[in-house]
Amino acid sequence: MTTEMLLADEVSAIPLGDLDVSEPALFQRDVIDAYFARLRKEDPVHYCPDSAYGPYWSVTKYKDIMHVETSHQIYSSEAGLGGVVIDSEIIQGAEGDLELPMFIAMDPPKHDDQRKAVSPIVAPGNLALLEGTIRERAGRILDSLPVGEEFNWVDRVSIELTTQMLATLFDFPFEERRKLTRWSDVTTAVPGFGIIDSLEQRKQELLECAACFRGLWDQRTKQEPKADLISMMAHSPATQNMSPNEFLGNIMLLIVGGNDTTRNSISGGVVALNQNPDQYEKLLANPALVTSMVPEIIRWQTPLTHMRRTALDDADLGGKKIKKGDKVVMWYLSGNRDEEAIDRPNEFIIDRERPRQHLSFGFGIHRCVGNRLAEMQLRVLWEEILKRFQKVEIVGEPQRVHSNFIRGFTSLPVRLHA
């Protein structure tokens, strides 16, 4: 029996009513799409009455996800109702008694005011100002890598580059840049899983983070405006009068938003190309394909598997009756494999016709505000990789993150070929 046949048996053996796709191990084993495929076919809007996170609805088809995304008046992102992740504890961890208001977990009108204040900062016009520095830093990391020797791409490139990019974006003290990664990990951490031991510890670390950013804010306000996110926020009329809590909440959102996601897209691109050598050949023959490859990597990897909403009212969805208060999970990872919406969705195709038509950034009023920034970073990175290395070859088993939210890698053993 092939692995596929065994997996098909595993999935079909479970009664439909018992199917629970929230189990992190399914994602770590990377078998989750066999489960999603069954739901897309047999029960696209699927109620799971009991899970580690309580009862919840799974939305598995692209068009139904799009419907939820564009119906924000029914499907709320409000932190007070549990936020935007299936595990309601995470937003408690992020916001909790520290009061870090993040507009990702707000509804209009408050959401709109906050988003409008921040979004010009990461808009394409400003990105152009940042591209040069990002390219320089990507180049320097790549130049420091050993050729012909095995190393962990996740640590030396994905995490390192993402951290440096965050430091660049904020013009954060370069030698202390790993604090950004730490604070980001801490923001969404739940005690007892290796990141923090207690909520008190989390609070202390985030107070330190607040003080640090407050210092940078004060410094930048006094200086001439320049091209970094803190200076931009300190000088823009829309943001310069933000309360300290709002400022910190927005900073944390920008950091968290650009942390794991970018990291895992960087790793994901290497995995995708290695698993599809014909596409790697195509890329080497025509480096201009980086532009269409980048969104395809983001679709293929789907760095955040889902986003969650809470129903503010009873509603109809895909033939089912959602009740007020129900938890509704939009599985982007499933929608991105929906063949009714995407042509040959399981294939990694670097020159797809409409590569940006995917769910990884979400849609609607909460669509990822950093989406063009993310694409720019990946594009610049791949341009620099292609200038230097004939191949980034995976030489060992990739290890995946144990999570039903973050889809990524903890380890990726590679060898570079000049």
Partner 1 sequence: MPTITFFEADGTKHIVDVENGISVMESAVRNDVPGIDGDCGGSCACATCHVYVDPAWIEKTGRAEASMEKSLLDFAEDVRENSRLGCQIAVTDDLDGLILELPVAQY
> Which residues lie near partner 1 (CB under 8 A)?
66, 69-70, 108, 112, 115-116, 119-120, 123-125, 354, 356-357, 363-365, 367, 372
Q: Are 312 and 326 in contact (CB under 8 A)?
A: no
CB closer to partner 1, 29 vs 116: 116
Q: Quick one: which H or E segment has residue 222?
A: helix 199-222
CB closer to partner 1, 207 vs 288: 288
Q: Are 413 and 41 in contact (CB under 8 A)?
A: no
Give residue 74's Cα distance to chain centre: 24
CB closer to partner 1, 24 vs 257: 257
Tell the smallest beta-carbon distance from residue 260 to partner 1 (Å): 22
CB closer to partner 1, 93 vs 258: 258
Residue with tokens 């309580």: 54
Using CA atoms, how far apart are residues 344 and 374, in angstroms rounded to an integer? 24
| Strand 75-76 with 306-311, pairing | antiparallel
Tell the smallest beta-carbon distance from residue 128 to partner 1 (Å): 9
Tell the smallest beta-carbon distance from residue 266 to partner 1 (Å): 21
Structure tokens at 213: 């950013």
Neighbours of 372 (CB within 10 A): 15
Tell the smallest beta-carbon distance from residue 28 to partner 1 (Å): 30
CB closer to partner 1, 50 vs 313: 313
Tell the smallest beta-carbon distance from residue 15 to partner 1 (Å): 34
CB closer to partner 1, 124 vs 173: 124
Tell the smallest beta-carbon distance from residue 21 to partner 1 (Å): 24
Tell the smallest beta-carbon distance from residue 111 to partner 1 (Å): 10
Tell the smallest beta-carbon distance from residue 66 to partner 1 (Å): 5
Q: Are 21 and 42 in contact (CB under 8 A)?
A: no
**What are phi and psi for residue 44, nearest 5 degrees?**
-60, -35
CB closer to partner 1, 145 vs 365: 365
CB closer to partner 1, 178 vs 367: 367
Structure tokens at 4: 């596929």
Find the DSSP H helices in 276-316: 277-285, 290-301
**What are phi and psi for residue 19, nearest 5 degrees?**
-65, 120
Using CA atoms, how far apart are residues 274 and 281, in angstroms rounded to an integer? 10
Using CA atoms, how far apart are residues 189 and 410, in angstroms rounded to an integer? 16
Tell the smallest beta-carbon distance from residue 121 to partner 1 (Å): 11
DSSP output for 314-338: -EEETTEEEPTT-EEEEEHHHHTT-
Q: Are 410 and 401 in contact (CB under 8 A)?
A: yes
Q: Are 135 and 384 in contact (CB under 8 A)?
A: yes
CB closer to partner 1, 12 vs 119: 119
